[in-house]
Structure 1
Amino acid sequence: MLFHVRMDVRIPHDLPSKETAEIIAREKAYSQELQRSGKWRHIWRIAGEYANYSVLDVNDNVELHEILSGLPLFKFMDIEVTPLLRHPNAIREDDT
């Protein structure tokens, strides 16, 4: 199942910079491993914001929740999820 996910990050300004850097490093490693596995198919930064649009390809809602709640920055995020279905007019067969 494909899901379009918007993630807005709001790290508290009073979080120590060392802790912030460690969380961001873990976030990068976690998200890149999910990209390599094919679960996190696309990620785009939203210009001018600490936010992204992503497309995840997972088995079900439970797997999506597990992945998102496993993000090191999860407790600092506002997340919006939209399930996606292949459009009947789509011409690319590899976008399922």
Structure 2
Amino acid sequence: MTLNNKQKQHLKGLAHTLKPVVMIGNNGLTEGVLAEIDASLDFHELIKVRISAEDRDTKKLIVNAIVAESKAIMVQLVGNILTLYRASLDKKINLPK
């Protein structure tokens, strides 16, 4: 699934007030972190993840791994905060056309 610009802007607006629900620290991207991201996406559909990586390349690798493993869509990456969206069966968020 891909999002058009209007849908991304809508999700960015919804995510503006959200706080990060998952934080990736010194241990990096572990199976437990991926499981927590997966569970959070199932419940919320739209989440923020804080990535504590000093190096840009490391952060980019972590972001790509999260997106690939969670099958989510990256809405935006601002600084160390990654915003992810994945539709659940309940369809809590209605996206514009």
Give the TM interval when normalised to the shorter protein.
Answer: 0.3 to 0.5
More helix by share: 2
The alignment's TM-score, normalised by the length of structure 1, stands at 0.34
The alignment's TM-score, normalised by the length of structure 2, stands at 0.34
- RCO greater where, 1 or 2, for CA within 8 Å and sep 6 or more? 1
